[in-house]
Amino acid sequence: MKAVGIMTDYPIALWSFNLGKAPASVDALADEIGAGMARAKSSGAKLLMLPEYLVECCLAFKPQGLRPDQEMAFLADTGLELISRIAPLATDYGISLLAGTMPVKSAAGITNTAILFTADGREIRQDKLCLTPFEQSADTWMLTPGNSLTVFQLDGLKMAILICLDVEMPALSSLLAKQELDLLLVPSMTEKLSGYHRVYGCAKARAIEHMCAVAVCGVIGAAKGTTQNESNVSGAALYLPCEEEFGFDGIGAEIKPSNGNAGDDILLNVNVPIQKLRRLKNGKAEVWPGAWSAGHVSICVENERIS
């Protein structure tokens, strides 16, 4: 019987896409993503991740006179067309594709949904759970939040997806604490450096809390035809627990933020150290208490009378 090797590293590629590329059509964007899959494959990656609202670059060919409150419906229809073009890429190239997020229509409304095409032929979806005020505004995008968080297996790893603001929510982190994740994927879109630091800082905290790897990438630049997002600032990073084995600071790899004005994308190829992470999780970490619940803790407010 052939021995089954223990996975030591899991190679992934993070692509912080520049929305300013302004594709002329859905086919042009699909071709661009296909070229990215070829690059990721040649680098040895088993997963390529694209950022939140990648599909907004399709506003470059929006219908004339489209109102801001009609953009999501247009992008949802455009997204359906894009999905039909890129869905085969994962099986064709033999690597998985997290195709960023896009608006998706349902009976409940329009969600901001991450779509993962796996190399083994599955399609995994994750709705954004905590929407920004802008995303919920009736004057602009008027999206509907999701209500479930999916934990899934891919290439022998346990993973989940938290979209942008979701990674900032401690309540969601607490829900995931007992799942023993290997890798958390965070596609994002942030307008300013403040948003970048919120998302990336919280992503690093999640790596510490869950003793897992957290991969983050976000869109940069501005889409031609945008009425809302005139700037996008982001970087790309793999965060790890702050342990000696990983160089103490918890930064597995990091490309500093850019506004994308130079027209370039951000590409990061990195290996997730799965074997070391699992060893630390199984009792070798310095002080990690595991999925600590605070169930024995009560809140006492000084000098406040509780009836």
Q: Is residue 306 part of a domain?
A: no
Q: Is residue 220 part of a domain?
A: yes
Q: What angle do CA 255, 39, 226 make, to 5 degrees?
A: 65
pLDDT at 104: 98
Cα–Cα distance, 232 to 220 (Å, whole number): 5
pLDDT at 1: 35
Q: Is residue 307 part of a domain?
A: no
Average pLDDT for residues 276-283, to the nearest whole number?
95
* CATH number reported for the structural domain that contains residue 126 in this entry: 3.60.110.10
Cα–Cα distance, 26 to 30 (Å, whole number): 6
The predicted-structure confidence for 13-71, as pLDDT tens digits, reads as follows 999 999 998 899 999 999 999 999 999 999 999 999 999 999 999 999 999 999 999 99
Here the tokens at position 285 are: 């970490």
Cα–Cα distance, 34 to 117 (Å, whole number): 13
pLDDT at 146: 97
The predicted-structure confidence for 199-234, as pLDDT tens digits, reads as follows 999 999 999 999 999 999 999 999 998 988 889 999
What residues make up the domain containing 17?
A: 10-283
The answer to whether 246 and 240 have CB atoms below 8 angstroms apart is yes
Q: Is residue 4 part of a domain?
A: no
Q: Is residue 215 part of a domain?
A: yes
The predicted-structure confidence for 135-164, as pLDDT tens digits, reads as follows 998 888 899 999 999 999 999 999 999 999
Confidence of residue 124 (pLDDT cuts 50, 70, 90): very high
Q: Is residue 150 part of a domain?
A: yes
Q: Is residue 301 part of a domain?
A: no
Least confident range from 104-108, 195-199, 237-241: namely 104-108
Cα–Cα distance, 173 to 153 (Å, whole number): 18
The answer to whether 201 and 240 have CB atoms below 8 angstroms apart is no
| DSSP run (H or E) holding 41 | helix 26-43
> Mean pLDDT score of the chain, rounded to an integer?
94
Average pLDDT for residues 167-178, to the nearest whole number?
96
Beta bridge partner(s), residue 188: 218
Phi-psi region of 40 (alpha: psi -120 to 50; beta: other; left: phi over 0): alpha
pLDDT over 80 at 306, yes or no: no
Q: Is residue 99 part of a domain?
A: yes
Q: What are phi and psi of 211, to 5 degrees?
A: 50, 50
Task: Tell me the HSE value of 300 on the side-chain side, using a 13 A CA sphere.
Answer: 4
pLDDT over 60 at 5, yes or no: no
Q: Which of 162, 60, 27 is nearest to 101 (CA)?
A: 162
Domain count, the chain: 1
The answer to whether 143 and 111 have CB atoms below 8 angstroms apart is yes
The answer to whether 47 and 89 have CB atoms below 8 angstroms apart is no
Taking residue 294's Cβ as centre, other Cβ atoms within 10 Å add up to 7
